[in-house]
């Protein structure tokens, strides 16, 4: 079963191909996803790497966490599950606006 890893402290110019080459030292890499800023197109300095097995993922964490990569020390750890993002308005987790104050409320017919 594939295991997803978080990779932080990346240089902004790091590419998916370069990361795949580095992580291939620990085993088979299923995917590499360098996270990019949607407005500037520049890397945000972190990525997710998916390894083929739990054992390969653990080997990657133990050998690459703290390793030098293009002048920076990598942070490699098991990725946490993605949390649901609040897509509602004004901090109200229900997505309905100012419900407690009696103000703005989204029309439920849409």
Task: Find the radius of gyration of the CA atoms of the chain.
Answer: 19
Distances (CA, A) of 16 to 28, 43, 50, 104, 106: 14, 11, 12, 44, 41
User: Which tens digits make up the pLDDT trace of 23-58?
Assistant: 999 999 999 999 999 999 999 999 999 999 999 999
Distant-in-sequence, close-in-space partners of 46: CB < 8 Å, separation ≥ 6: 6, 7, 8, 9, 10, 35
Q: Which homologous superfamily does the CATH classification assign to the domain defined by 3-78? A: RRM (RNA recognition motif) domain (3.30.70.330)
Q: Would you list the domain boundaries of the chain? A: 3-78
Q: What is the pLDDT of residues 52-97, one digit of tens each?
A: 999 999 999 999 999 999 999 999 999 998 887 776 655 555 555 5
Rounded to whole angstroms, the Cα distance separating 77 from 65 reads 7
Q: Which two tokens stand for residue 94?
A: 């229900």
The pLDDT of 9-14, averaged and rounded, is 96
More confident residue, 108 or 23: 23
Please give the Cα distance from 63 to 71 (Å, whole number). 17
pLDDT of 93 reads 55
């Amino acid at each position: 079963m594939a295991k997803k890893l978080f990779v932080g402290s990346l240089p902004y110019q790091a590419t998916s191909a370069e990361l795949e080459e580095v992580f291939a030292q620990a085993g088979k890499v299923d995917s590499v996803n360098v996270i990019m800023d949607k407005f500037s197109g520049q890397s945000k300095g972190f990525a997710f790497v998916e390894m083929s097995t739990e054992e390969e993922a653990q080997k990657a964490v133990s050998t690459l966490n703290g390793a030098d990569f293009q002048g920076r020390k990598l942070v490699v750890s098991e990725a946490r599950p993605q949390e649901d993002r609040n897509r509602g308005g004004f901090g109200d987790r229900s997505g309905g606006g100012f419900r407690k104050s009696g103000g703005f409320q989204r029309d439920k017919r849409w």
